[in-house]
Amino acid sequence: MTISHVGIQVTDVQQMTDFYLAALKPLGYAKRMEPAKDVIGMGPRFCGPTFWLSPGLDLSKKPDTGEQLHIAFHASNRQKVRDFHAAALKAGGTCNGAPGIREQYFPTYYAAYVLDPEGRNIEAHCMAPAFVAEPVQRNIIFAVSGAIVAAAVYWARTREMF
């Protein structure tokens, strides 16, 4: 079974809502629900809320949140990982690892890390290899594949195989 949703407590709900909505927009996330004051549910398109923010964190009583929590969001391709990283930095996050391959996890693990304004380590990652996960390379592969198929069909037709 997969995890249904994750909720975190924050010190400033509005600031963190603004940050996460901007950072996760490239991954398709938007505000999906606010069932109570300052309780915000976000999720990807065509999905209910999978990521929740609520008030209640008092940083003076807890250790550094970056050491406590790491949240990873799936990205469908590597460009979305790069877009997430740029959007999170623009929204006030701090770079904790530029977009790139992380071979220590898996040979095709492409990820970027950002600390949110309260210090949590958030990540976007894509596991697909570059030839699938990079739009330009994918288009080249489909074009070459299409040309090979077209040549094979032409060859077969000139020999009256069809």
pLDDT value, residue 73 = 94
Q: What is the largest CA-CA distance in the chain?
A: 80
Reported as a single tens digit per residue, the pLDDT across 58-94 is 766 655 555 568 899 999 999 999 999 999 999 999 9
- Residues 134, 107, single domain; the answer is no
51-55 and 110-115 strand pairing: unpaired
How far apart are alpha carbons 138 and 142 in whole angstroms? 6
Alpha carbon of 18 to those of 41, 51, 78, 93, 124: distances in Å? Answer: 13, 14, 24, 11, 18
Could you tell me the CATH number of the domain that includes residue 14?
Answer: 3.10.180.10
Tokens in use for 7? 């909720």
The more confidently predicted of residues 29 and 147 is 29
Reported as a single tens digit per residue, the pLDDT across 127-158 is 999 888 887 654 555 555 666 666 666 666 66
- Residues 92, 161, single domain; the answer is no
Asked if the structure places residue 117 within a domain, the reply is yes
Tokens in use for 95? 């770079």
How far apart are alpha carbons 14 and 1 in whole angstroms? 32
Report the domain count for the chain.
2
Average pLDDT over residues 98-104: 95
pLDDT value, residue 154 = 60
- Residues 49, 104, single domain; the answer is yes
Question: Residue 116's domain spans which residues?
Answer: 6-125
